Amino acid sequence: MDNFNNENIGVVKISDEVVSVIAGIAAEEIEGVIEFQHGVTNNISQLLKGKKSSGKSVRVTLEEDRATIEMEVSVEYGVKILDVVAQVQENVKRTVEAMTGLVVDGVDVFVQNIYLPKDHEKEFKEK
């Protein structure tokens, strides 16, 4: 990244953990996405405490100025999964690229769970 004089004054490196947090927050912005396997708030609190999470719901591979992102999400019952996943992929790609300057080569989304809203759970159990 150049400063406004186009002089190189140092190196900027962004960790995969930071990209992971950005991707997780961007995914949660999409309606229909309920949560991650271990929750993005857990990732943030672990980052602030300096701890590494053992099982990640967002995995980032960085190669120079390029990133590949894999994430596991849970969605709400009744949504069109392919539409929600396409929105997640677009929002994650756009947000990570805007915030970090990296080029996102791909966002692979794995739907791990489907959750029933509380009012649907009652209806489902009554049948």
| Structure confidence at residue 121 (pLDDT) | 55
Q: Could you tell me if residue 11 is inside a domain?
A: no
Residue 10 falls within a domain, yes or no? no
- The reply to whether 88 falls in a domain is yes
Q: Is 116 domain-assigned? A: yes
For position 82, which CATH number holds? Answer: 3.30.70.1350
Q: With b meaning 16 or more CB within 10 Å and e meaning fewer, what string describes 115-127?
A: eeeeeeeeeeeee
55 in a structural domain = yes
Place of tokens 């190196």: 11
Residue 5 lies in a domain: no
Judge whether 28 lies within some domain.
Answer: yes
For the chain, what is the domain count? 1
Alpha carbon of 90 to those of 93, 99, 110: distances in Å? Answer: 5, 14, 15
In a domain, 79, yes or no: yes
pTM for the whole thing? Answer: 0.73
Q: Which domain holds residue 60?
A: 16-126
What pLDDT tens digit does each residue of the chain (127 aa) get? 444 555 678 888 899 999 999 999 999 999 999 865 444 444 444 455 444 443 458 999 999 899 999 999 999 999 999 999 999 999 999 999 999 999 999 999 999 999 887 766 555 555 5
